[in-house]
Amino acid sequence: MANENSPEPSYTLYVYYTRYSSWGVRAQLILEYFNIPYKVQYFNYTIPALTPPHELTTLPVLDVSPAPGAIASSSEEESPLRIPDSLAIAEFLADQHPEKNLWPADPQLRALARVAAAQMHSGFAALRDAYPSNFVSRFTGPGIPFPEAVAKDVAKLLALWHRVRVASSKRLRELGETDQGFLCGGFSIADAFFWPVLWRLRSYNVPLAGSTDEARKWMATMWNHPVMKAQGKEYFRQARDSQSHFGVYDDLFKATSDVTSGTFSEDWVFDGDIA
């Protein structure tokens, strides 16, 4: 366990505005949920003055500056460690803060969480391609596409949540530990990785037919938790800033007459269904 009295490195997270960012928002949620201090710099690739510099073209990126008093390297000025990719960032933070259990402490639960996060990190391409991440906007109507490939991805997603919750509940009972309702009991990197796909289901009014009680209870745990609600307020705060606007996402169905575009209210609550 890390020495709580020892100086810690400082973190700066470089991301696109997180109300649209399916990759960067994962890293931000991990930092927020586990109360890891950090600074954030937002970018907007649709506004020339707010595009990231060349060395930050692939976001998110976490810069890690040495802790005050750390042993200096042979170079005169220590460059920060620069970590791209949401999963690499998550793994680095888990290694740096083992006392916070970013992954479950139990090996079996940890394996379940890692498998789930890896599947989200590399899979569900049809769902991702059809529905860009957009937390604030709400699209309804028969013109929203729901092709077979997307329907299959949604079914796989709901089945995955069901399997992980059932297996985790069983393991937690064996361990005699409290089940907090997240994928593997307590909140972990796995939950953070599925946070933006929850938006997609909400923003595009995706049918949840076939979802089990276990899957819906996990969704409710995520949507109604104070940390996720606080993050939601941050996305609405961003929406009030014109610099954060990504027209390509907000105007996705602008020319489609049978889709109604609007926004959610900040006090929206998941009650077992999206509509």
Mean pLDDT of the region 175-202: 97
Q: What is the pLDDT of residues 142-160, one digit of tens each?
A: 999 999 999 999 999 999 9
- For residue 273, what pLDDT is reported? 75
Lowest-confidence pick of 57-71, 121-135, 184-198, 218-232:
57-71
pLDDT band, residue 76 (cuts 50/70/90): very low
- For residue 272, what pLDDT is reported? 79
Q: Domain extents for the chain? A: 10-263
pLDDT at 4 over 50: no
Pairing type for strands 39-43 and 10-16 reads parallel
Class level of CATH domain 10-263: mainly alpha
Mean pLDDT of the region 237-249: 95
pLDDT at 275 over 80: no
pLDDT band, residue 182 (cuts 50/70/90): very high
Per the prediction, the chain carries an average pLDDT of 92
Mean pLDDT of the region 252-260: 94
Mean pLDDT of the region 71-94: 81
